[in-house]
Structure 1
Amino acid sequence: MFLNTDIKAILFDLDNTLLDRSAAVRSYFTHLLQTLSPPLPDEEFELTLLTILARDRLGYEDRAAFFDWLVANCFPDWTQDRLWADFRKKLPQMIQPDPQCLQLLEQLRENYTLAVITNGSAHLQRAKLKAAGIDQYIDQIWISEETGSAKPDAEIFSQALHALGVSPQQALYVGDHPHQDISGARQIGMLTCWMDLERTFPDEVPQPHYQISSLNSLESLVP
């Protein structure tokens, strides 16, 4: 199935859509756990790391609650503010450019306007975009901290479409979160494409128009 030929713009979520946030978070906390003294036994180390990643919920856990939990349960020598500052500084350093992603964006940019809509800290999200090499292919970016609205609020999607000069029917939104990405974009009439990351889409959420298992699969939708 090909994209509607009326599509003028493709907008993306950032984390775990355009870049592998999960791998970067795993690397960050692996390094941090290795600094503990005395060192954790191997089995406890792996269990602690897996627990941290599960608690993070692909970045959708409340930030303050997550970092409070980390300090209370894993890193008692840190404060919440110090750990958050360290995370913001070092996480972009864990991001690895994906040559296949960059090649796809270069190809798409020949025919479509490309943009990003993402929730989070403006400093952190822009640093990750740059570290991944994605910033050079993206025409515009909207970050919740800067716009004053966050996905799934219709306002942030509407702001982006207005600035790009396209109607909802002329835009495709690609993301990994059923509610924040797919439901958010669908409510204003955008076409949607869900990155399933080997998950099943929940029945209670409006279904995406397209579903892909990896970003590279998006190429098969492009006419």
Structure 2
Amino acid sequence: MIKSVIFDLDGTLLDRDESVKQFIACQYERLSTYLGHIPKEKYVTRFIELDQRGYVWKDKVYQQIVEEYKICGISWEALLRDYKNKFKNHCVPFPNLIEMLEALQKQYISLGMITNGYGQFQMDNIEALCITSYFDSILISEWEGIKKPNPEIFKRALHKLNVLPNESIFVGDHPENDVYAAQKVGMKGVWKKDLQWNDVEADFIVTNLIEVPSLIEQINLKS
């Protein structure tokens, strides 16, 4: 019997790829006094390349960009501050996010989240999606001192939700950090399909968040 669903954030609930595109294009426009000598498309494309879907922190990204494009008048530190302060204004949810969360609440499913990243930055993004109130527990790696795929952060989330591993599923887009890591602690791993990977071994695969409530119903009917 599934009593709890725990989610990843970036790439699962938050459409990070689209959010980054919108933010970096807006940053270029806002700071065009300093960035205008770089073609906009080149600035956006290079940022996305260096960012590596969030796996490279932005201090390295902005240092590289400032050096490559010989940006003057604004430091990489100032660009980083702008990122930290303004990214939350460009958070794009995946389709049916709120509908899914409300459907799970109606099923009396407790909800948790585990996300890697910097504490306040990630919390700002969660709040920007207007979903904080739906969650019974939110764990952010910086604040927890551990990060996925460390099994301890999954165990900590389960403890906070007061559920056993076999009573919970984890939904995420990363095959190793999300799906396999959750399976290792005894949870069912649900892969939210991402075109970056193929042939992911998961207990279940969803392409749209709205599939999750019906998946829970099906699992519980069989248990």
Is the contact made by 1:122 and 1:145 (CA closer than 8 Å) also made in structure 2?
A: yes
Is the contact made by 2:15 and 2:93 (CA closer than 8 Å) also made in structure 1?
A: no
Matches of 1:122 and 1:75, distance apart in 2: 31
Q: CA deviation at 1:98?
A: 6.1
Matches of 1:72 and 1:178, distance apart in 2: 34
Per-residue deviation, residues 76-125 of structure 1 (Å, max 9, x unmatched): 23333322221111000112456721111011022210011001111111
Q: CA deviation at 1:145?
A: 0.8
Is the contact made by 1:117 and 1:142 (CA closer than 8 Å) also made in structure 2?
A: yes
Which moved further from structure 2: 53-62 or 161-170?
Answer: 53-62
Judged with a 3 Å threshold, the aligned counterparts in structure 2 of structure 1 residues 198 and 213 are, in CA distance, closer, same or farther, namely: farther
Q: CA deviation at 1:75?
A: 7.1
* 1:83-162 pair list within 5 angstroms: 83-96=79-92, 100-111=96-107, 112-162=109-159
Instruction: Give the one of 16, 23, 26 matched to 2:11.
Output: 16
Is there any run of 5+ residues in structure 2 with no aligned partner, and where? 218-223
Matching of residue 221 in structure 1 with residue 218 in structure 2: no
Structure 2 equivalent of residue 209 of structure 1? 203
Matches of 2:79 and 2:161, distance apart in 1: 37
TM-score by length of 2: 0.86
Per-residue deviation, residues 44-101 of structure 1 (Å, max 9, x unmatched): 4324322321322221224443232233235723333322221111000112456721
2:40 is matched by which residue type in structure 1? Answer: F
Matches of 2:179 and 2:88, distance apart in 1: 26
* 1:166-181 pair list within 5 angstroms: 166-181=163-178
Structure 2 equivalent of residue 26 of structure 1? 21
Is the contact made by 1:178 and 1:202 (CA closer than 8 Å) also made in structure 2?
A: no
Matching of residue 57 in structure 1 with residue 52 in structure 2: yes
Judged with a 3 Å threshold, the aligned counterparts in structure 2 of structure 1 residues 180 and 98 are, in CA distance, closer, same or farther, namely: closer
Which moved further from structure 2: 50-59 or 169-178?
Answer: 50-59
Per-residue deviation, residues 117-173 of structure 1 (Å, max 9, x unmatched): 001111111111111111121111000111110111111111111121111111100
Is the contact made by 1:152 and 1:179 (CA closer than 8 Å) also made in structure 2?
A: yes
Q: CA deviation at 1:39?
A: 3.1
Report how many aligned residue pairs link the two structures. 213
Q: CA deviation at 1:178?
A: 1.6
TM-score by length of 1: 0.86
Q: CA deviation at 1:8?
A: 0.8
Which moved further from structure 2: 12-21 or 48-57?
Answer: 48-57
Structure 1 equivalent of residue 220 of structure 2? none
Is the contact made by 2:59 and 2:77 (CA closer than 8 Å) also made in structure 1?
A: no
Which moved further from structure 2: 158-167 or 140-149?
Answer: 158-167
Judged with a 3 Å threshold, the aligned counterparts in structure 2 of structure 1 residues 72 and 220 are, in CA distance, closer, same or farther, namely: farther
Q: Secondary structure at the match of 1:222?
A: helix
Matches of 2:207 and 2:95, distance apart in 1: 18
